[in-house]
Structure 1
Amino acid sequence: MNSLTMKRSRIVGNIQQAGRDIYNFPERSQNPDVKYEVTPLWRSPITQAILTWISFFTGLGSLGAFGKVVGDVFQNLNAGKAHTQNMFLYLIVFAVLFIVFAGAFSLRRIAKNETRHPIGFNNLAINGEGNRLTLEKIRDTCPCGGKLKYINAPVEWIDHDRDGRKTREITKRHPSLVCNRNPDHSYSVDIAENKKQ
C-alpha cells in the first residue's frame, strides 16, 4: 500500500508512477477468480448432425400439421358445420412437433457453438463440447465458505415503478456461479471455454 498526495486530494492504494506526471491506478477485482470442477455425468450419443435432422423433420411435420388445421378451419367455415375432431387432433400434433422442433433446435445451437449452459437445478449443465451433448455437474465452494450455484444470473435489468409498485424487468442473463451464503459473491463463467478453434 502506498500513498500519494496531489494538490487537494490524497490517494491510498496500489499506485504505479510512470515518468513524472503520469499515474496509473490499477483496479483490483472485487472477487477473486474461482477454479471450479466439472464432472461429466452422461455423454450423449446425440450429435449436431442428428439434432439437425430432427429439427428438419419436426419442422416440416409441424408445418404440415398447421396447414391441416388451417385447412379444416376454412372447410368448417365454408360448410357451416363444426367438424372439429380432426382439427383438434392436428392441433395437438402441431403443438407436440413444434415443442420437439424448438428443443432440438436449441440443443443443436449448443452443440454447434460448443457452449455450456446451466439447466437450472442441482448445478447441472448441458455442454456441446466436440459437437456432442454432455450432461455435467459443476462443483466448487466460494472462498467465503459458501456453496456455489450454477445459474443464469441476471446481469442487466430495468426497474419500473407503476402506481407505487416496483417491478424489475430482466433484460440479460449470463451463466454465473453465485454463492448461497453471500449473493454479492458472483463469478461469471465463460460458456465457450472449451471450444475448439
Structure 2
Amino acid sequence: MSMNCPKCSASVSESDRFCSYCGHPLELVVTNSVEVGDGSIEGPLIQAGRDVYYRPKSPDPPKASYDAVPKWRSPFTQAVLSWMGVFLGIFGIVPISKIFGFYVTPSTGVNLVIWLVALLIVAAVFGLVWSLRELAKRETRRPLMLSWAISGYNHRITLEKIEASRCPTCNGKMKYYMKPTDWYYQINDNGSRRRVVTERTPMLECVRNPKHAFEMDPAEDKVAHSLR
C-alpha cells in the first residue's frame, strides 16, 4: 500500500520510515480513520502506532442549586459583633468576681445561684456573638431550619429564605439543612448505643429519596477581598 510524504508529497511505501526523496521521517503518518455517527468526538484520542483509541468523556454528575433571598439585613456587622464580644467579656468579670467573693465571705445560697445563672447567660450570649462574628468574618452561609439560612456575606449578618430547585435526579422537592456526614456510636452501660455526630455539612437533600443529596459550598458567594 502506498501513501504520500507529508512534506514533499512524493509517493512512498507504507513500510518506509523515511521519505526516499527528501528524507522526512514517516513515523507519524498513519492511514487509519475514526468515524462517529454524529460527526463529533468529545473525549481524548490516544494514538499508539497505527491504532487510535477513543475514550468517551464521562457525563457530568447532576447538580442541584438554590436561590438565597435576603429577608432581613441585620445591623450586626463584624465590627459591631467584635465590640459586643469585648463588652460581654468585661461584663462577665462581674458574676465571676461575685462567685469567688461568695467563698471568701459566705452569704445566702440564693445569691450564689443567681450569679451562677448570670454567668451561664453571659457565657451563652458570648458564644452566640462569637459564632456570628466568625460567620461575618468568613462571609459564609449556614442553614438554620425550615428552608431558612443565616449569612455573613459582606461582613453583615443577614437572614435568608432558601428557595431550592427541584431534584435534578427525580424532580422531587429539596430541603436545605446541615446533614450529619460523620459520626460514631457510643455504647451505654445498659447495652444501648447512641449516635454521636462529629461533623455536619450543608446539603440539599431530596425529600423523595434521601440518597439524592448534594453538598453545598458554604463559601460559594465570591468575595472581592481576602479575609481580614
1:170 aligns with 2:160: no
How big is the shift at 1:185? 0.7
How big is the shift at 1:63? 3.0
How big is the shift at 1:171? 2.1
Structure 1 residues 165 and 84: CA distance shift in structure 2, 3 A: closer
Partner of 2:155: 131
Partner of 1:154: 180
Q: How do 1:28-177 residues align onto structure 2 when only pairs under 5 Å count?
A: 31-76=61-106, 83-119=108-144, 121-140=145-164, 141-143=166-168, 144-159=170-185, 165=192, 167-177=194-204
CA distance in 2, matches of 1:51, 1:90: 25
Structure 1 residues 145 and 52: CA distance shift in structure 2, 3 A: same
In structure 1, list runs of 5 or more residues that go unmatched.
1-13, 77-81
Aligned residues: 177
Deviation larger for 51-60 or 141-150: 141-150
Structure 1 residues 191 and 71: CA distance shift in structure 2, 3 A: same
CA distance in 1, matches of 2:108, 2:68: 55
CA distance in 2, matches of 1:166, 1:16: 51
CA distance in 1, matches of 2:182, 2:58: 22
CA distance in 2, matches of 1:191, 1:63: 35
TM-score using structure 1 length:
0.77
TM-score using structure 2 length:
0.68
How big is the shift at 1:107? 0.4
1:189 aligns with 2:216: yes
**Does structure 1 conserve the Cα–Cα contact (< 8 Å) formed by 2:43 and 2:56?**
yes
Which has the larger strand fraction? Answer: 1
Which SS does the other structure have where 2:209 is aligned?
A: coil
Identity of aligned residues (%): 36
Partner of 1:18: 46
User: Counterpart amino acid of 1:49?
Assistant: A
Structure 1 residues 167 and 112: CA distance shift in structure 2, 3 A: same
Partner of 2:36: none
**Does structure 1 conserve the Cα–Cα contact (< 8 Å) formed by 2:64 and 2:204?**
no
* 1:83-138 superposed Cα distances (whole Å, 9 cap, x missing partner): 2232222112212211111111110000011000011x211000000000110111
Deviation larger for 150-159 or 104-113: 150-159
**Does structure 2 conserve the Cα–Cα contact (< 8 Å) formed by 1:113 and 1:195?**
no
Which structure has more relative contact order (CA 8 Å, sep 6+)? It is: 1
